[in-house]
């Protein structure tokens, strides 16, 4: 499928997104944002701010959502997602996401939705009786993707079960009502998942992340606190970078120097403190665009909302066309809509 958009030939369409749960961190950068920024050249990209999905678990803090939407937008801009070339969409501003979700929900058994590993994990963690909204999370996500007939979805590993449900729904719909949706392909980041600064799984609630907006002092403090090879006491002790967290970060962010770092560590030619200071410096440089985006957009909130509004309007035209087709195929009456 080739189409010409904004004067550039694209190989297909992408839809992907984040839930606006707060500022983005290094895990988001290596897991998704770097890939997304790169894919903009090849694909017609739709980047979704999934605010409805936030409500599946966090509907008791309405005051947080707006702030978090802006935080996510700033980090996306810092990562080089470009609203001129790509379409930024606010999920709740395009009601066709919710509408398609209701229609697609008819094709998913409760048993299938309950088998979703993310759902099971959240039910365990929340310790609450799960809502219908949480159970239907992947159906809404399928609607996000299918409403634009996306060909590919670049996501982190954790999202693969959701994408599998999306593909099943697309297949079921196509079988029942005739070919309508492409079966969207996942695109995974090549970089392995990064651990948090304390060595546990990276998670904002563990306080072990480095936010993309961190300043050089915060970066240095967090890097210096990372665990290294416990066998090293003196800088001249031979090190084992494979067990060192700072080395994993060198690997992810300091590709040009990683071989030299490894050699010097193994030979006992560098102390852990200077090694980590070097890493902190590389990270501070890498994160500079994110700090710059915050400075650049400081006090221009209205323009940020406008950017999302313009994108959502553009997206909605496409979403409406899909809904007209889906409604007809499912036997619903479609009066021409004037709104
Ligand atoms: N569930 C995704 C996450 O938590 C966010 C998301 C919502 C998404 N809709 C999507 C991702 C559609 C990809 C495609 O990160
Ligand atoms: Fe890790 Fe660097 Fe210390 Fe080696 S020298 S253990 S890579 S911090």
**Beta strands across the sheet bearing 43-49:** 87-90, 43-49, 12-18, 152-154, 185-187
Q: Please state, rounded to an integer, the average pLDDT across all residues of the chain.
A: 93
Q: Which ranges constitute the DSSP H helices of 58-95?
A: 62-78
In tens, the pLDDT along 107-126 reads: 999 999 999 999 998 888 87
Give just the sign of the alpha carbon dihedral 324, 327, 329, 334: negative
Decide: pTM greater than 0.95.
no
Any idea what the Cα angle at residue 20 is, between residues 29 and 165, rounded to 5°? 85
Cross-strand pairs, 187: 154
pLDDT higher at 330 or 6? 330
Superfamily of domain 215-286: Tyrosyl-Transfer RNA Synthetase (1.10.240.10)
> pLDDT confidence of 1, banded at 50, 70, 90?
very low
Highest-confidence segment of 4-8, 118-122, 253-257, 275-279: 275-279
The rounded Å distance from CA 19 to ligand 2 centre is 35
Question: Which among 39, 43, 49, 50 is the best mutation to test ligand 1's pocket, defined by most ligand atoms within 8 Å of the CB?
Answer: 50
Q: Point out the ligand nearest to the CA of residue 101.
A: 1
How many angstroms separate the CA atoms of 281 and 279, rounded?
Answer: 5
Which 3 state secondary structure label does DSSP give 16?
A: strand
pLDDT at residue number 6: 55
Which CATH superfamily groups domain 3-194+301-329?
HUPs (3.40.50.620)
- The Cα-based distances of 237 to 59, 276, 297 in angstroms read 53, 16, 47
173-206 pLDDT, tens digit each:
999 999 999 999 999 987 778 999 999 989 888 8
Structure tokens at 176: 């029942």
Over residues 36-66, the pLDDT tens digits come to 999 999 999 999 999 999 999 888 888 899 9
**First-to-final CA distance of the chain:** 31
Q: What is the pLDDT at residue 5?
A: 55
Task: Decide if 75 contacts 290 (C-beta within 8 A).
Answer: yes
The rounded percent of the chain whose pLDDT value lies above 90 is 80
> Above pLDDT 70, what percent of the chain?
96
pLDDT at 63: 87
* CA–CA gap between residue 274 and residue 51 (Å, rounded): 42
The pLDDT confidence band at residue 246, using thresholds 50, 70 and 90, is: very high
- CB-based contacts of 296, cutoff 8 Å, min separation 6: none
CA of 282 to the centre of ligand 2 (A): 15
Instruction: Kindly tell me if the per-residue pLDDT of 338 is higher than 80.
Output: no
Does the pLDDT value for residue 167 go beyond 90? yes
Assess whether the C-beta atom of 10 lies below 6 angstroms from ligand 1: no
Ligand 1 pocket check: which of 136, 144, 161 to mutate, most ligand atoms within 8 Å of Cβ?
A: 144
CB count in 10 Å sphere of residue 336: 5
Per-position DSSP letters for 155-183, written without gaps between them: --GGGHHHHHHHHHHHHHHHHHH-S----
How far apart are the C-alpha atoms of 171 and 202, rounded to whole Å?
34
Per-residue pLDDT tens digits for 269-320: 999 999 999 999 999 999 999 999 999 999 999 999 999 999 999 999 999 9
Domain locations in the chain as residue ranges:
3-194+301-329, 215-286
Q: What is the C-alpha radius of gyration for the chain, rounded to an integer number of angstroms? A: 22
Ligand nearest to the CA of 247: 2
Q: How far apart (Å, rounded) are the C-alpha atoms in residues 137 and 166?
A: 11
What's the CA gap between 317 and 148, in Å, rounded? 10
- Read off the pLDDT of residues 212-242 as tens digits, 9 standing for 90 and up: 999 999 999 999 999 888 888 888 888 899 9
Residue 336 has pLDDT above 70, yes or no: no
3 state SS of 45: strand
pLDDT at 4: 55
The neighbouring-strand residues paired with 5 are 8
DSSP classification of residue 90? E
- Residue 7 — pLDDT band, cuts 50, 70, 90? low
The protein residue whose alpha carbon is closest to atom 4 in ligand 2 is 265
């Amino acid at each position: 499928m080739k189409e010409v958009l904004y004067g550039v030939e694209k190989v297909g369409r992408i839809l992907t997104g984040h839930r606006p749960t707060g500022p983005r961190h290094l895990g988001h950068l290596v897991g998704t944002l770097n890939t997304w920024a790169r894919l903009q050249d090849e694909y017609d990209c739709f980047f979704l701010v999934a605010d409805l999905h936030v409500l599946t678990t966090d509907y008791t803090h309405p005051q947080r959502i707006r702030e978090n939407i802006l935080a996510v937008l700033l980090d996306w801009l810092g990562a080089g997602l470009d609203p001129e070339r790509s379409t930024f969409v606010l999920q709740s501003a395009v009601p066709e996401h919710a509408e398609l979700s209701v229609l697609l929900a008819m094709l998913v058994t409760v048993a299938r939705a309950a088998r979703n590993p993310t759902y099971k994990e959240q039910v365990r963690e929340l310790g609450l009786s799960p809502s219908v909204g949480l159970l239907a999370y992947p159906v809404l996500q399928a609607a996000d993707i299918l409403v634009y007939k996306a060909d590919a979805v670049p996501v982190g590993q954790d999202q693969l079960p959701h994408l599998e449900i999306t593909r099943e729904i697309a297949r079921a719909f196509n079988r029942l009502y005739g070919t309508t949706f492409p079966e969207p392909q996942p695109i995974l980041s090549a970089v392995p998942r990064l651990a948090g600064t304390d060595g546990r799984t990276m998670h904002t609630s563990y306080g072990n992340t480095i936010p993309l907006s961190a300043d050089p002092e915060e970066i240095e403090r967090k890097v210096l606190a990372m665990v290294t090879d416990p066998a090293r006491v003196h800088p001249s002790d031979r090190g084992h970078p494979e067990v060192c967290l700072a080395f994993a970060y060198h690997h992810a962010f300091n590709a040009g120097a990683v071989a030299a770092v490894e050699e010097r560590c193994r030979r006992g030619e560098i102390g852990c403190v200077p090694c980590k200071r070097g890493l902190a410096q590389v990270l501070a440089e890498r994160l500079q665009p994110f700090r710059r985006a915050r400075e650049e957009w400081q006090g221009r909130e209205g323009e940020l909302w406008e950017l999302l509004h313009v994108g959502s309007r553009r997206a909605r035209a496409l979403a409406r066309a899909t809904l007209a087709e889906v409604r007809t195929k499912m036997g619903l009456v479609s009066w021409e809509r004037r709104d």
